Amino acid sequence: MSSRMPKGPRFFARVYEAVRRIPRGHVATYGQVARWLGVPRGARAVGWALRALRPELEASVPWHRVVACGGRISLREGAGPQIQARRLRSEGVRFVDGRVDVTRHGVSA
DNA sequence: ATCGTGACGAACG
DNA sequence: CCGTTCGCCACGA
């Protein structure tokens, strides 16, 4: 077999799979996703995985449903934040003072 | 194996 | 409320 044989799905793949489980009209935080993966402190790694998401997978992974703590949009540059907010609004997610109302749309809220 | 990087998060001041 | 600092994690060079 290959010199390197992953025992299981790479972290990236697990992140994408977890994000796909976020119901439409709901959101989860990076920390929450990390927690689902059994890595409560891997929020940064989750963000990194989404950042590495390729255009080809963007269509199948609802990355816009992942927000930062407090329902804030982490993306700060380019059209990213605007696109994410727009997509969320499209599925009925309400924003309060520029942040997603996690108490209403949060998956674990 | 070590270092730098990043769509985080909580703690400080 | 805002900006800064520190810790944590995965990964490529």
Mean pLDDT over A73-88 rounds to 90
Residue A20 predicted with pLDDT over 80:
yes
> CA at A56, C1' at B8: how many angstroms apart?
25
Is this prediction's pTM over 0.85? Answer: yes
Separation between Cα atoms, residue A16 and residue A68, nearest integer Å: 16
Nearest nucleotide to A64 by CA–C1' distance? B7
> A108 falls in which pLDDT band (50, 70, 90)?
confident
| Cβ of A43 less than 7 A from strand C | yes
| Cβ of A31 less than 7 A from strand B | yes
Contact A19, A84 (CB under 8 A): no
Distances (CA, A) of A89 to A16, A25, A68, A71: 21, 8, 17, 13
> CA at A19, C1' at C3: how many angstroms apart?
31
Mean pLDDT over A17-40 rounds to 96
| Cβ of A83 less than 7 A from strand B | no
Structure tokens at A25: 């009209």
| Cβ of A51 less than 7 A from strand C | no
> CA at A37, C1' at C2: how many angstroms apart?
32
